[in-house]
């Protein structure tokens, strides 16, 4: 991955309806989105020039904004088209895609109903989230101190910037201890998710995953559940307590960046990436690749 800071890279970013040079895609320091977290975003990937489940991501971006009480002034179709325009302008086929929307700077205060809503889309080349050699043997995960909030206290179904504050803190703490990520419990002390990925466990041939009712039901999560069920694997979406962690045989996480990544350790608990995880990794890799057109 390039060491060049993100604000100093070359290329083009789609910003409020037009392409602008990368370094010119700026916002004011008094933007409401910066001070009050009135911002939503998506994380997507293009494989072979095709953005995986682009429409689902665009629709979720719109829903996230509505949950935060603002409306993005573009349709999902227009957002999809803008994403592909950026990819084409930047000459990329395999890339990470980041749409972000936020309230502007017309009013600085908690109330900002009349602030302009901005939308920007950037793309960049991004290799595997985890080192390939480490990924195949399973990553090590710590257990976070912070918990996912009660859905009565935060817009947990939105992909909102403010919800990631405790994720950044938790991931930093985990990395300083030599781990790749951290497992977060929910507000009632049940297993929830990692800092930027959903989590799955396997025991006796059954896949178990926490019920996504107070954290984001990831599009990759949904895809992997569909893949698993097509394979004939049983998937149980349910409450999982920390006491169950030592009873599972396999564990993996899912996300746009992480894709399907095996886990070998969560704190004191050990797992052995096995055949079911390997099959799901391979099936997901096949699913995201563009289907070849008939000659």
Q: Which residues carry out catalysis?
A: 159
- Burial class (CB within 10 angstroms; exposed 0-12, middle 13-18, buried 19+) of 187: middle
What angle is formed at CA 248 by the lines to CA 246 and CA 250, rounded to 5 degrees?
125
The DSSP secondary-structure symbol of 149 reads P
Cα three-residue angle 85-30-36, rounded to 5 degrees: 85
Supply 102's token pair.
């936020």
Pairing state of beta strands 198-203 and 250-255?
Answer: antiparallel
Task: Report which of 290, 255, 260, 279 is spatially closest to residue 96, judged by C-alpha positions.
Answer: 255
On whether the CB atoms of residues 254 and 260 are closer than 8 A, the answer is yes
Candidates 8, 86, 95; CA nearest to 46 is 95
């Amino acid at each position: 991955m390039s060491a060049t800071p993100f604000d100093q890279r070359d290329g083009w970013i789609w910003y409020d309806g037009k392409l602008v040079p990368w370094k010119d895609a700026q916002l004011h320091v008094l933007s409401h989105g910066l001070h009050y977290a009135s911002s939503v975003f998506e994380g997507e990937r293009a494989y072979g020039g095709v953005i995986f489940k682009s429409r689902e991501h665009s629709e979720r971006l719109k829903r996230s904004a509505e949950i935060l009480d603002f409306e993005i002034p573009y349709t999902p179709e227009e957002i999809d088209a803008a994403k592909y325009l950026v990819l084409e302008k930047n000459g990329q086929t395999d890339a990470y895609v980041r749409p972000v929307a936020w309230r502007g700077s017309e009013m600085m205060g908690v109330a900002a109903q009349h602030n302009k809503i901005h939308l920007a889309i950037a793309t960049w080349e991004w290799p595997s989230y985890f080192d390939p050699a480490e990924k195949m043997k399973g990553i090590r995960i710590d257990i976070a101190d912070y918990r996912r909030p009660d859905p009565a206290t935060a817009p947990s179904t939105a992909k909102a910037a403010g919800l990631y504050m405790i994720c950044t803190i938790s991931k930093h703490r985990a990395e300083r201890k030599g781990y790749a990520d951290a497992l977060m419990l929910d507000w009632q002390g049940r297993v929830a998710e990692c800092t930027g990925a959903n989590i799955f466990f396997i025991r006796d041939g059954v896949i178990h995953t926490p019920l996504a009712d107070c954290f984001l039901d990831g599009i990759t999560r949904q895809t992997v559940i569909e893949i698993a069920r097509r394979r004939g694997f049983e998937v149980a979406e349910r409450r999982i307590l920390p006491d169950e962690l030592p009873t599972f045989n396999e564990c993996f996480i899912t996300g746009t960046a992480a894709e399907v990544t095996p886990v070998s350790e969560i704190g004191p608990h050990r797992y052995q990436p096995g055949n079911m995880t390997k099959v799901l990794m391979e099936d997901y890799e096949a699913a995201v690749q563009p289907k070849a057109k008939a000659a």
